[in-house]
Amino acid sequence: MHSFVYPNRFDTIIVGVGGMGSATAYHLARRGQRVLGLEQFNIPHDQGSSHGETRIIRLPYYEDSSYVMLLLRAYELWREIQRTSGQHLLHLCGSVDAGPADSWVFKGALQSAMEYELPHEVLTGKELKERFPGYNLPQDSLALFQPEGGFLTPERAILAYVFAAQALGAEIHGQEPVLRWEALGQGEGVRIHTTRAVYEADSLVITAGAWNDQQLRFLNGLAVPERQALAWFQPLKPALYQPESFPVFNLLVDEGRFYGFPVYGIPGFKIGLYHHFNETGPADAIDKGVYWEDEEALRACTAKYFPDAAGPTMTLKACMFTNAPDGHFIIDLHPQYPQVAYASACTGHGYKFASVIGEIMADLAQHRRSRHNIEPFTANRFHGRYDFGVGGELSNVTQYARREQAHPTRGRDNRRPGSMTSLERPRRGMRTVNRASAKQPSRVSHHDYAQFERGIHNRSDQPAGPSEQRAREQEWRARSFW
């Protein structure tokens, strides 16, 4: 391979220019940092976790309502990169979170919508079909419709971030795998060895997705790649499955937990099954082929719950989740080398956060801490269950994770994330669900930055006093956090 001579000292080097890495490059370059982004494949590519034309974004968050705070900032930053790039990346067509009335998907979505006063409507299966005739859910299922849901276009967004970062002086290299990195003393920088050159930087950000555990051995068993399959079926009634007529969905039914999209990018209704066939392994060993069993599982759900979408197959693709044992993101500094920050933000729901995770990673690279509360995402939540060993190297780590993988205590439908009890956030007291009142859409604006700030900075359970709140609000509005 040809070797080039590059100026080889940077403020920050980023390993992996996918969803998270591209956003990180932009945020750092915007702050005037000298940035180098290194990607092993083309940019973008279809071998990792950020391909397939569309990714769902939704505000009510059944996985844990604590995520809503980050989502509010993520929406804001998606809009910012849209403006900067002139690209349409965020498509709002509404979102549906549906399942049995007592299911974690429906109940969790409703809880977070109510907790954060997000505009929403609760519809029965019958009402949903009347409103959006592409749906054919069981009559007794309940759906939470939220108008600000929709989808992002990941390949375009990665390019938008790369173009914007380059325009600000960032250097981005494709086809340059990072072979290894070494820390230069305590906090004194890093040296990176690639297939083409050797570089140094003050900070290293590792956003290598399904390959994260190859850069950080202690993530082995904590960030586990898993094969996913996706299908695009040509709708029999295309008008029912357009972004104007069909909201994105998360759907819990007897067959599993599915997600899907209106026709966009590829002429087909797109559907996937969370934790498809539970096939895990090292990233390079994950089978990227797609087979008839994959198609059958996705077609069966489509034919039953979206019958007018179940036409001829258009496209099949494979992709990789990277799962944490509790289903939440892992974002942290290296346990031994604080000049190294990393993000494993997937478990099937991370892309929508890429814009704000880019901001978090930029904070960590520059300041070793973030303006956002990432406490719930730090790896030390696994301590006790995991032994991080000497120097962050894994010694006897993965028993819990491997036991969970080998003998999942819950069925596929119930592979829900654990609760994020450590995140202090504004709590207004849960209201009980009253179907009659829940049907009334809430109209309260969610752009409440005082609330946002309390969630980010208030590390105690005591509510901030009014003057403190005002100060924080002003600080946020001035955008001069650092």
Ligand X SMILES: Cc1cc2nc3c(=O)[nH]c(=O)nc-3n(C[C@H](O)[C@H](O)[C@H](O)COP(=O)(O)OP(=O)(O)OC[C@H]3O[C@@H](n4cnc5c(N)ncnc54)[C@H](O)[C@@H]3O)c2cc1C
Which residues here bind ligand X, judged by CB under 6 A? 15-16, 18-21, 38-41, 48-50, 52, 55-56, 177-178, 207-209, 211, 228, 230, 259, 272, 319-321, 345-346, 348-352
Give the active site residue among 24, 54, 322, 347. 54
State how far the Cα of 33 lies from the Cα of 394, in Å rounded to an integer.
32
3-state secondary structure 159-173: HHHHHHHHHCCCEEE
Nearer to ligand X among residue 140 and residue 284 (C-beta): 284
Q: Which residues of 141-172 are buried (b: 16+ CB within 10 A; e: fewer)?
A: bbbbbbbbbbbbbbbbbbbbbbbbbbebebbb
The strand order across the sheet containing 269-273 reads 121-124, 141-146, 95-100, 248-253, 256-261, 269-273, 224-233, 313-323
- To ligand X, the closest distance from the beta carbon of 144 in angstroms equals 17
55 counts as catalytic: yes
Give the active site residue among 27, 55, 58, 257. 55
- To ligand X, the closest distance from the beta carbon of 321 in angstroms equals 5
Nearer to ligand X among residue 134 and residue 209 (C-beta): 209
Q: Are the C-beta atoms of 384 and 326 separated by less than 8 Å?
A: no
What's the token pair of residue 34? 């000298």
Helix 354-367 with 19-30: angle, nearest 10 deg: 50
Nearer to ligand X among residue 171 and residue 424 (C-beta): 171
Chain centroid, CA 250 distance in Å: 15
129 counts as catalytic: no
DSSP state of 109: H
Nearer to ligand X among residue 199 and residue 321 (C-beta): 321
CA angle 140, 141, 146 (to 5 degrees): 140
319 counts as catalytic: yes
- To ligand X, the closest distance from the beta carbon of 212 in angstroms equals 8
Give the active site residue among 196, 352, 415, 425. 352
- To ligand X, the closest distance from the beta carbon of 373 in angstroms equals 19
Q: Give the bridge partners for 192, in sequence order.
A: 181, 199
Chain centroid, CA 430 distance in Å: 26
Nearer to ligand X among residue 49 and residue 398 (C-beta): 49
> What is the number of residues in the chain?
482
State how far the Cα of 341 lies from the Cα of 194, in Å rounded to an integer.
19
- To ligand X, the closest distance from the beta carbon of 249 in angstroms equals 10
Q: Are the C-beta atoms of 10 and 146 separated by less than 8 Å?
A: no
- To ligand X, the closest distance from the beta carbon of 316 in angstroms equals 12
Give the active site residue among 173, 196, 227, 275. 275
Nearer to ligand X among residue 97 and residue 424 (C-beta): 97
Give the active site residue among 120, 173, 227, 270. 270
- To ligand X, the closest distance from the beta carbon of 168 in angstroms equals 20
Give the active site residue among 73, 319, 322, 334. 319
54 counts as catalytic: yes
Nearer to ligand X among residue 1 and residue 444 (C-beta): 1
270 counts as catalytic: yes
Q: Find, among 71, 58, 56, 60, the residue nearest to 114 by Cα.
A: 60
* CA distances, 340 to each of 23, 204, 206, 333 (Å): 17, 5, 7, 6
State how far the Cα of 327 lies from the Cα of 312, in Å rounded to an integer.
34
| Nearest residue (beta carbon) to ligand X | 18
352 counts as catalytic: yes
Catalytic positions are: 51, 54-55, 270, 275, 319, 352
